[in-house]
Chain A
Amino acid sequence: MIPAKFDYKPASSAEEAILLLQEYGDEAKVIAGGHSLLPLMKLRLANPEVIIDIGEIQDLSFIEERDDHIAVGALTRHRLVEHSDLLRENVPLLAHAASHVGDPQVRNRGTIGGSLCHGDPASDLPAVVLATRATLIIRSQTGEREVAADDFFTDFWETAVNPAELLMEIRFPKVGDQPWAFQKFSRRAQDWAIVGCAVQHGSNPGIGMINMGSIPVRSSVAEEALRSGNAVIDVASVADEGLSPPSDIHAEVDYRRHLARVLLGRALS
């Protein structure tokens, strides 16, 4: 399978990328690691006329401690996230979840920003962003804006990143010693999750769900139950409440709901 023709525009800086995005607008797609976009292009489910390659922008790959949060550059590859001591210490849920993305080859190439901007509800990291209540930094020519995780995923495969904008970094609040858990149910290790969940405990606990809606979603009802000090079994039993999971060849709606409850129960145990 072969992508359709496109114009190729490499960008050497975020500024250059944003200028290119302004110039080409909707016709353009940004490529970083390419592991979300290229598979779609090969199946010709995406046929952008212009590809803006930001993969060589070195200063967007970083993991830095800043006050109360850890900032992760959008171009940081999954592998670096997975192996980062800083993240293992301060946002262990993220490091752990990154080790479950795709397979080793995918993790060597794919980036956190690419995964998030793809906005796939079946992907692992959006659930972590929701669970940790991370903040996403988006830049346009007019400057940077902060978007809360809850406002980032807007529609199926759509995010708050507008056509002339670039995701720059993701800021994860340090969680200290607060417990966390990640559960992913798939047939094969390499597969996308049939259902999964990411749980971050703390004063405002977060529960991000994988593949439980048309966009990445949190389980607000379960979060509320957790905040109210309910027993694990009761929290887990509302994992799917208010959510509209998809039905596909791997799992129908009722099974996904059931899995969400089981997995959240395991995550909280």
Chain B
Amino acid sequence: MSLVGARVIRKEDPNLITGRGQFVDDVQLAGTAHMAFVRSIEAHATIKSIDSTAALECDGVIGVWTAQDLNLAALPGVPGLQRPPLAMGKVRFVGEAVAVVVAEDRYVAADAAELVFVDYEPLPVVTNINDALQPEASLLFEEVGSNTVFEMPTPDDFQSVFDDAPHTSSVHIVNNRCAPAPMETHACLADHGPSGLTLWASFQAPHHLRNTVSGWLGIAQDQCRVITPDVGGGFGAKVNWTPDLFVAPILSKLLGRPVKYTQTRSECMTQMYHGRAQEQDVDIAYDADGQILALRVLVYQDCGGYPDPTGMGLPALTTTMAAGCYVIPNVSVAWKNIVTNTTPVAAYRGAGRPEASYLIERAIDLIAYDLEIDPLVVRRKNFIPPESFPYATHSEIAVYDSGNFAGALDELLNIMDNDAIRAEQQENLADPAKPLLGVGFASWLEIAGFGPPGSLEGFGHLGSWESVQIRIQPDGSAIVYTGASPHGQGTVTTFAQIAADYLGIDFDKISVRHGDTATIPQGIGTLGSRSVAVGGEGVKTASVRIADRAKRIAAHLLEANPDDIEVANGNFSVKGTPAQNVSWGEVAWASFRPLEIPEDMEPGSLDNTVLQQVPNFSFPSGAYACVVEIDKETGDTRVRDMYLVDDCGTVISPMLAEGQVHGGVAQGIAQALYEEVRYDENGQPTTATFMDYLIPAAPELPNFTSGRTNTPTPNNTLGAKGIGESGSVGAPPAVINAVVDGLHHLGVTHVDMPANPQKIWRILQGGVT
């Protein structure tokens, strides 16, 4: 029986359900000192002086250091705009590290951090894109001469197409700033002794961290071991460079003892890089039938206080995917990267693609409203036909691999009763006691499986491959080592499923190890929905290679032809004579004994390492529908139903794939209705706790109705496209299209996220947007 595609109970779970998981803060090394940061309370200011006297007098304080004391290089980043580990004379957002305290325990460290007095000279603050672009705006980086730190103009704005088009629509979209907010905040523990550095970190890419930290510290990579143990969620935010990762090793070496740092949630909300934070000008031209003629997108990316290379790259992904699953003959894209006095922005689940699906799926509904036709008709009219793949887009980056967008929409309409919902919608409209209903659709497409050579290198990674090493143990069990670095995805289980199928070894006899640069050859990490599409393919590649070698050994032991050997259920047998067999354990044992293997084989050959490459991205797609209820009096808006059809190609584990979709959709609903990082006019964060930043809990979310279509990707032999980010790409447009649908009788055609009750109430009061 094939395990790929089977409902398998996770290997990860036993430790995690018994409290035996090990997250960074759970690691307790003898002699550990605790680090805390003194953080800026100003959004934009020069630092006049820092007085550590009182802090140093605290019992248990080991030391207090500022940028001057440590003389540190800037963190890796955009040349000329790099972030200092500790503020150098100026702070650019509330929460920026100004000084660091180390104490005997975390309580004393917290006390002492409060006692460091920093004298600021406040500067004018820019907290949003509009303010930052004003001619007289205060500049974050005077030397750049503008808060626009990078600009990608369009080669052609297709103005003549718009001029000649029968119809056009335009919308200004705010894609709200979100906090990734994994349940485990970021944490690290550095032990930098004479023999080198061991760094435990809550991080998604241990080798990337090792390569970067060792380079920054000027130590050889063999002297630097990074361990990412259990990681309590990342969502793209645990691949960024924060000061603690660099300062902790320095101080550990200086003090000769381990140094630990664990973010508080309030710190996490201002330190962990935010996501989205885009505004977009979208113009779309179309004919009287709804056939799209041109799309023009200008993206304004708020990069926060220090532009991060990934953050600056988000608009590239947004504009690449801006045409979604539609044939659009003329696509014009441009973007600006803008700095503001806010937390820096980088990847958050979906990273640039939710912003794309949102803009194009909103634009489709605008066409439908303008022409007064069914939005599903507009979608079907413009879908890329299933026979058109590979499909070259306006972007050199994106050549769509496969898909069946009409098929997904058909399946969506199978799992929901759209007519009944529409009828109920009309009834409710007439009944003052009932809530408004809205139905929204999204035919979404994203870019995943990062990626082909060159795709991650631009973001500072060593490569775009993923490493897999499989080692057969002498008893016939197998260990899969991988550079993929899961933090909830269930990779230990899915990789074991793939290995079991292609090695012919029992699932129970396969372990998957990750998250330690000392034992795993090399690696890239878990990001960009790549683990199965790239790493999983690597598991298959290495498994097939090992199985072929094992067959040769089995053939040798059975005195048969290797071509006649088949492997199943832990046994090698000769085709046609199953009684003639040898177990995987016997083959494995023999593989280490020179006298028992073919003369041309070396002992220990059942060990293979692959840096798996893929030729192209994969493009998961799907069709989602959302039904919202809107309270006519309060504006309170709740998701009643979510219908989800995903096409991620081959599914390794249906249960885990469903879990990934649910989680992404939950975050998508959260972005659409609940979550928004906000600042007041002074740049003070007003949503820096879980009291004010509204992550939905169980009562706020519905059950999900799921369907599936399958167009395998040709870019790996598994056919798997990746599923980690889909939900967060597809859900926001479905939810907001539903909200707008529910309000359209009032003339509403757009509502910015989050559609909170006050905003909806104002619209119900007559404030049409």
Contacts and interface: CB of A to CB of B under 8 A. Distances in A.
Given A2-B110, A5-B111, A258-B761, A188 B678 contact: no
Contacts of A251: 758
Contacts of A192: 691
Most chain A CB within 10 A, of B110, B634, B689, is at B634
Contacts, number: 51
A80 B543 CA distance: 60
A187 B266 CA distance: 21
Interface in A150-194: 185, 187-192
A236 to B, nearest CB: 11
B111 A4 contact: yes
A38 B266 CA distance: 16
Nearest to B110: A2
Nearest to A187: B694
B117 interface: no
Contacts of B762: 255
Nearest to A265: B633
B687 interface: yes
A231 interface: no
A189 B674 CA distance: 13
A2 B674 CA distance: 28
B756 interface: yes
Interface stretch (B168-176, B319-327, B360-368, B696-704): B696-704
Nearest to B698: A189
Interface in B712-769: 756-758, 761-762
Interface string A188-215: 1111100000000000000000000000
Contact of A252 (B266, B633, B758): B758
Contacts of A258: 761
B114 interface: yes
Interface in B657-702: 674, 678, 686-687, 689, 691-692, 694, 696-697, 699-700
A188 B756 CA distance: 12
Contacts of B694: 187-188, 191
A245 B114 CA distance: 33
Interface string A247-269: 00111100100110010000000
B266 A262 contact: no
Contacts of B696: 188
Given A2-B110, A187-B756, A249-B686, A262 B634 contact: yes
Contacts of A259: 634
A128 to B, nearest CB: 22
A66 interface: no
A115 to B, nearest CB: 16
A145 B111 CA distance: 40
Most chain B CB within 10 A, of A4, A249, A251, A258, is at A249
Most chain B CB within 10 A, of A5, A43, A190, A251, is at A190
Nearest to A251: B758
A96 B722 CA distance: 47
Interface string A1-18: 110110000000000000
B697 A249 contact: no
A185 B761 CA distance: 14
Contact of B699 (A2, A189, A252): A189
Interface in B249-290: 264-266
Nearest to A261: B633
Contact of B266 (A1, A4, A185, A250): A1
B106 A2 contact: yes
A4 B108 CA distance: 9
A187 B692 CA distance: 10
Contacts of B110: 1-2
Nearest to A259: B634
Contacts of B699: 188-189
A83 interface: no
Interface string B66-110: 000000000000000000000000000000000000000011001
A262 B694 CA distance: 23
A243 B300 CA distance: 42
A2 to B, nearest CB: 5
Nearest to B761: A255
A249 B692 CA distance: 8
A44 interface: yes
A249 B687 contact: yes
Interface in B138-186: none
A251 B692 CA distance: 12
B636 interface: yes
Interface residues of A, number: 21
A5 B58 CA distance: 12
Contacts of A187: 674, 694, 700, 756-757
Contacts of A252: 758
B107 A185 contact: no
B373 to A, nearest CB: 35
A163 B700 CA distance: 41
A2 B103 CA distance: 14
A192 B690 CA distance: 12
Contacts of B691: 191-192
A5 B114 CA distance: 13
Nearest to A190: B697
A166 to B, nearest CB: 29
Contacts of B265: 1
A205 to B, nearest CB: 23
A185 B678 contact: no
Contacts of A190: 697
Contacts of B674: 187-188
A44 B692 contact: no
A246 to B, nearest CB: 14
Given A190-B697, A249-B692, A255-B758, A185 B636 contact: yes
Interface in B564-601: none
Nearest to B692: A249
A105 to B, nearest CB: 12
B108 to A, nearest CB: 9
Contacts of B686: 249
Most chain B CB within 10 A, of A43, A188, A192, is at A188
Contacts of B114: 4, 44
A259 B634 CA distance: 6
Nearest to A266: B633
Contacts of B700: 187-189
Nearest to B754: A187
A3 B111 CA distance: 9
Contacts of A189: 697, 699-700
A195 to B, nearest CB: 9
Contact of A249 (B106, B678, B757, B761): B678
Nearest to A269: B433
B761 A1 contact: no
Contacts of A255: 757-758, 761-762
Given A1-B264, A2-B110, A249-B678, A188 B761 contact: no
Nearest to B36: A2
A189 B633 CA distance: 19
Contacts of A2: 106-107, 110-111
A237 to B, nearest CB: 13
Contacts of A249: 678, 686-687, 692
A258 B633 CA distance: 9
A113 to B, nearest CB: 23
Q: Which 7 A-B pairs have the closest CB atoms?
A: A189-B699, A262-B633, A2-B110, A255-B758, A249-B686, A1-B264, A2-B107
Interface of A: 1-2, 4-5, 43-44, 185, 187-192, 249-252, 255, 258-259, 262
Interface of B: 106-107, 110-111, 114, 264-266, 633-634, 636, 674, 678, 686-687, 689, 691-692, 694, 696-697, 699-700, 756-758, 761-762
Given A185-B636, A249-B692, 7 more contacts: A1-B264, A2-B111, A188-B697, A188-B700, A192-B691, A250-B692, A250-B758
13 contacts: A2-B107, A4-B114, A43-B266, A185-B634, A187-B700, A187-B756, A188-B674, A188-B697, A190-B697, A250-B692, A255-B762, A258-B761, A262-B634
